[in-house]
Amino acid sequence: MPKVTDIANELKQAIDAKDEVQIAFIASEYSAESREKIAKAYVASYGKELPDDIKKALKGGSEESLLMDLFSDRHEVRAQHIRDALSGRNDHMAFFDTVILCTPEDWHETVAAYTRMFKKPLVEDFMKDVGRKEDWCLLMEKWMAHERVSRPGSPEDEAQRLDQAFDQKNTAYLIDFFGTVPSAEYRPIAEAFKAQNGKSIEQAIATIYTKTDYYTFYCAHFALLGMHRLAAYLINCACNDKGDEKRMRRITGMMVDKCLGAKHAYKIYGDMGTDIERCFDKRMAPILRTLWRVK
């Protein structure tokens, strides 16, 4: 990695030139942790916060917000997104992008940031707002605890128990299973489930759940297979007819460096670069393609 002061200088030149794609390119070269160091070096060199300079130089919109997020404290960014999603009518899609698409380490820091910023404990605030009447709410509560426990049986045994839970609509078991099974153990169970039943877990989810319940369990399924798999699915959802810039800002700004494999996982839906080009305008599309490293 070049000296952070040199990278900060490159960014200053790109910002002065109002070159959004170049700012995105520089961001795409580094992890979130490295970008935070670059942002600190920028302040040391120029006496200004990097996101503030981006905001002054660019012309608003989700593009500006995304580029600012990339050089901001990502835990504070996630905390703010969650708070926004809880304000007024709950934004369920935002919960998938921020709560489920998140590593345990990042979640721990997000909880601390939320308390610091809003003087409230995140999980309590979340559950008070959404309630506990629906299964998706209870799964979210389990998910936010990040308490994974090894399953007692073999993958085949666990797959059989899971199938019984689907058949009996034992939602308490399903909530506990998806909320606590370790990711490393999930794939073998999923493979055994399909071999035994001739259908996938995602197909089984669709037999008993609809709407927000369905999407929450579906996202949990992909997250357990790998965050890049979930990112690919969420990006595909965001690539609707008009393109959902708010969702792409959340997904990309917080997780792009951890989910670059999404461009390969996306192949089951089509070509990520092509879909981004089709759904987003000539300002946003090049930024997204650059950050996700797709043509």
CATH classification of the domain holding 19: 1.10.220.10
3-state secondary structure at position 235: helix
Position 142 in a domain: no
- What is the pLDDT averaged over residues 97-110? 98
User: Is 240 exposed, middle or buried, given 0-12, 13-18 or 19+ CB atoms closer than 10 A?
Assistant: exposed
pLDDT in tens, 32-74: 999 999 999 999 999 999 999 999 999 899 999 999 999 999 9
Q: Rounded to an integer, what distance in angstroms lies between the CA atom of residue 63 and that of residue 291?
A: 12
Q: How confident is the model at residue 242 (pLDDT cuts 50, 70, 90)?
A: confident
Number of domains in the chain: 2
Measured distance CA(221)–CA(207) in Å, rounded: 15
- Structural domain range at position 192: 155-225
Domain boundary among 164, 196, 225: 225
Q: What's the DSSP call for residue 170?
A: -
294: left (phi over 0), alpha (psi -120 to 50) or beta: beta
User: Which DSSP string do the residues of 48-115 spell out, in sequence order?
Assistant: S-HHHHHHHHS--HHHHHHHHHHTS-HHHHHHHHHHHHHSSS--HHHHIIIIISS-HHHHHHHHHHHH
Q: What is the pLDDT of residues 82-93, one digit of tens each?
A: 999 998 778 999
Question: Does 106 map to a domain?
Answer: no
Choose the final residue of a domain: 225, 249, 274. Answer: 225
Determine, yes or no, domain membership for 84: no
The answer to whether position 267 is within a domain reads: no
Q: What mean pLDDT is reported for the chain? A: 97
Mean per-residue pLDDT for 220-243? 96
CA atoms within 13 Å, Cβ hemisphere of 178? 30
Q: Is residue 291 part of a domain?
A: no
What pLDDT was estimated at residue 294?
98
**Domain-embedded: residue 234:** no
Render the burial of 136-175: b for 16+ CB within 10 Å, e for the rest: bbbbbbbbbeeebeebeeebeebbbbbbebbeeebbeebb
List the beta strands (DSSP E) in the chain: none
Confidence of residue 1 (pLDDT cuts 50, 70, 90): low
Instruction: Specify if 181 maps to a domain.
Output: yes
In this structure, are residues 251 and 97 in contact, taking their beta carbons and an 8 Å threshold? Answer: yes
Task: Tell me which of 225, 260, 286 is where a domain ends.
Answer: 225
pLDDT-derived band of residue 179, with 50, 70 and 90 as boundaries?
very high
Q: What are 148-162's pLDDT values in tens digits?
A: 999 999 999 999 999
Instruction: Determine which helix (DSSP H) or strand (DSSP E) holds 261, and give its type and residue range.
Output: none
Q: Is residue 19 part of a domain?
A: yes
